[in-house]
Amino acid sequence: MVQKEKTLEAPQVDGEPSPSPVSGEACAEAPGPVEESGIGVEPTGHRKFISGVVEGFYGRPWTMEQRKELFRRQQKWGLNTYLYAPKDDYKHRMFWRELYSVEEAEQLMTLIGAAKEHGIEFIYAISPGLDITFSNQKEVSALKRKLDQVSHFGCKSFALLFDDIDHNMCPADKEVFSSFAHAQVSITNEIYQYLGEPETFLFCPTEYCGTFCYPSVSQSPYLHTVGEKLLPGIDVLWTGPKVVSKDITVESIEEVSKILKRAPVIWDNIHANDYDQKRLFLGPYKGRSTELIPRLKGVLTNPNCEFESNFVAIHTLATWYKSNMNGVRKDVVMSRQVPQSGAKSTAIDVSSMAAPSLCSSTTVTTVFQQPIMSPAMPPLCLDPLSHPMVEKKDSDEEPMEMVVEKQDEPEPEAEADPEEKHVGPILADKMAEDLKPMDTDKESLAESKSPEESLQEDSGSDIAPMQTDDQLKQMPQTFDVFVPGPNEKPLFTAEPLTLEDLSLLAELFYLPYEHGPKAMQMLKEFNWLRANSSVVSVNCKRKETEKVAEWQSRAEKFEEMCCSVIHMFTRLSNSANRTILYDLYPYIWDIKSIISMVKSFVQWLGCRSQSSAQFLRGDQEPWAFRGGLAGEFQRLLPIDGANDLFYQPPPSMPTSKIYSIRPYFPKDEVAVYKICKEMYCEGMEDIPFTDDDPDLIGDRLVGGLLTLSSDYGFVLEDDEGICGYALGTVDVKPFIKKCKLSWIPFMQEKYHKPDCEKDLTEAEKMMLSFHEEEEGLPDSFLSNFPSLIKVDIHAKVTDPSVAKSMMGCLLSSLKANGSHGAFCKVRQTDKRMLDFYSKLGCFEVAKMEGFPKDVIIMGRSL
């Protein structure tokens, strides 16, 4: 759909081979043309309505087995078309002239046969627009030769795509064609006639959405040329008002239909996620009135890159289409939610329909059949008896059956809860399927990576663009499969996912222009807690009991919501269905990480913030930015611009290990001292400290901060206890004065000054430092970096994202109270800490007059 480098306004479209004509069952009839749109149709007054899926995104294409599974689902749900157009199959787009190899040809023929077997029309799309010379007959012949080859595979339906290309023609084309549109239409008409005018032939224009039309849809010379010159048997693809359209109205379709002189086929990017690696869309198909159906030639959804995440997107498209497949109904509203804007723009809106797509008992269809866990492990499945809304019947054959009946009832307000009505059939459908094992080899694991990482990895391999079964079998396994013996336990016990987990997951990753209700509630509550934090600030002079109680109550509920996200992450990470997990893991890891940081920050606000806490950002639409919900929470934290701290790639293998970050309390001092000592001595062959002074290292390195600046302290915990800390002070100048008045005298009394005449041990040098005047840093430096920080994590913590979260919490607290820069001191010989702080975005500050000679100063702007 949209290239990653582009903004939301960038599109995508492409297609692939299509098998021989599909059966009558697959070719659902759509109503005749709508008179006011002026669209001509066959004498019968009826035409086939194209409905299905386009694989047209940027990123790793789906596997052959996934496509076959897609055909199975489409057949059950009443969809009839698959358009093959993956942007990163280089023989589809970049190297379109190259013929398929024998091995690739066999795969395509098998795939076309599978589509035909399930009654799915297979459309092969080719995208030559990047570099074709329209006036060169050799180029036209190369295109014909390529499509001839695909025709011999059994494909009868085709598409020519000219999306996402430069509008400028080469000099040779300018001499032959009067415009870019004329060049495209000329070659499209020629190819269409050369192929015998196939029943289904699609054309994707370069101006394929309203925002791309210059100067407008109605006045676009390009679209007018397409409408007037393109042969009437060729259908035109259209994405709506935008590349990713929130709503597609009847009026907008009538407008473009009038210009194109035909009803368009919608290439719908509502669930496409290839333009933002942090976003996934698990919400329903909505924002398209069912009154559009008689005004369209078809609808193809271009869904998420991750195949297993598309159950809801595709199922709800089928539900939408079947609700008005005869074209006689007014708009079918399948929810009690308030319509979007205008009576005609509403459509399906069932927030919890996404849940079943993630049910852990979903069928796992894959080329890898060796189990990763014990075959004896009970399949992870929701108990239908514990959820009355789950109906134990196979309803995926007719997803709209019960909905259509309900629509005719005169009082929809009296109907049962819409969530119960729609979630039940879908969930029951998924629960009825058997869980199949999956092998986690290189190919499967790669699906959990971002498209960019996958492309970088693939670019150096010699695997063909269209992966074949033999090549997949030759891939080495990452690790040996564990099969427990008679007396051995499985690798882990799968903790059952709940319906609430799945509903929450869908609402966290809902749709491009809106979050689900729970996600919106979390954003709203965090905004309120930030805005009203002054009532619980440590320096609030007059604390109003009622307001404090309200803040604390709402903070507690917000923390519960955060915990529900973390618990969902844990249960999903332990799911027996690893296929779905690998597709979802990067996304749930990302949201878990940011929610954990936000939760810690709210805890700090409740007990340590000052009434002067500043939050400089205004309230924008929560769906208006890159990054989805995680990005919204990032922008609400004081350090929203510290992107490096929020970039926390998931581990190569999924883990459910959870760390929590919370404010420091006096009872934590012993544990912090212990970590401080262990990490200071890390790597030393001979520990230069005895047990005579067990607190010496802690007193010297963190004692002052814990005693005099605990308001800016955080600790890291795992299931065994505290394993890290992050400490700081917002302004080092007054902090040093406090140390000289109270902390240093106490230390001088605790540790007597050693005899300087003899060689001192490391411990004695540390004791001596309490009795010597510490060099102060120059004001010119402190004006830019006023805050002192100290962060460390135990060596047993191997998750690199934890340190970033700790630093994020600490810097957020400092910036909220007015700091604009922080620094830390590191011993010149301490390579570990130099590397540690460097990875957290700190840089070595050039030495200035007044800097201590034996330490390195590292800073970070806020």
Structure tokens at 641: 């611009």
Report helix, strand or coil for 724. strand
**856, 844 in Cβ contact below 8 A?**
yes
Sequence-distant (≥ 6) Cβ neighbours of residue 481 within 8 angstroms: 370, 371, 372, 439
Q: What is the dihedral of CA 251, 515, 1, 160, to 10 degrees?
A: -30
| Region class of 640: left (phi > 0), else alpha (psi between -120 and 50), else beta | alpha
Query: Mind giving me the DSSP string for 798-849?
Result: --HHHHHHHHHHHHHHHHHTT--EEEEEEETT-HHHHHHHHHTT-EEPPP-T
Cross-strand bridge partners of residue 520: none
Residue 273 sits at φ, ψ, to 5 deg, of -130, 15
Sequence-distant (≥ 6) Cβ neighbours of residue 789 within 8 angstroms: 726, 727, 728, 810, 811, 814, 822, 823, 824
**CA distance to 613, 664, 671, 690, 824, per residue, from 678 (Å):** 35, 19, 11, 13, 19
Cross-strand bridge partners of residue 660: 717
Q: Which of 190, 168, 189, 188 is nearest to 179 (CA)?
A: 168
Residues in the chain: 862
| Region class of 23: left (phi > 0), else alpha (psi between -120 and 50), else beta | beta
Which DSSP state fits 278? T
Sequence-distant (≥ 6) Cβ neighbours of residue 791 within 8 angstroms: 724, 725, 726, 727, 803, 806, 807, 810, 824, 836, 837, 840
**660, 805 in Cβ contact below 8 A?**
no
Question: Among this protein's residues, is 164 annotated catalytic?
Answer: yes
d(Cα 135, Cα 157) in Å, to the nearest integer?
25
Cross-strand bridge partners of residue 126: 160
Residue tagged active-site, from 14, 163, 164, 441: 164
Sign of CA dihedral 518, 524, 529, 530: positive
The rounded Cα 276 to chain-centroid distance in angstroms is 7
**CA distance to 159, 177, 202, 243, per residue, from 180 (Å):** 18, 7, 18, 21
Which DSSP state fits 368? -
| Region class of 21: left (phi > 0), else alpha (psi between -120 and 50), else beta | beta
Residue 365 sits at φ, ψ, to 5 deg, of -110, 115
Sequence-distant (≥ 6) Cβ neighbours of residue 453 within 8 angstroms: none
Angle between the 800-816 and 831-839 helix axes, to the nearest 10 degrees?
Answer: 70
**454, 88 in Cβ contact below 8 A?**
no
Please give the positions annotated as active site.
164
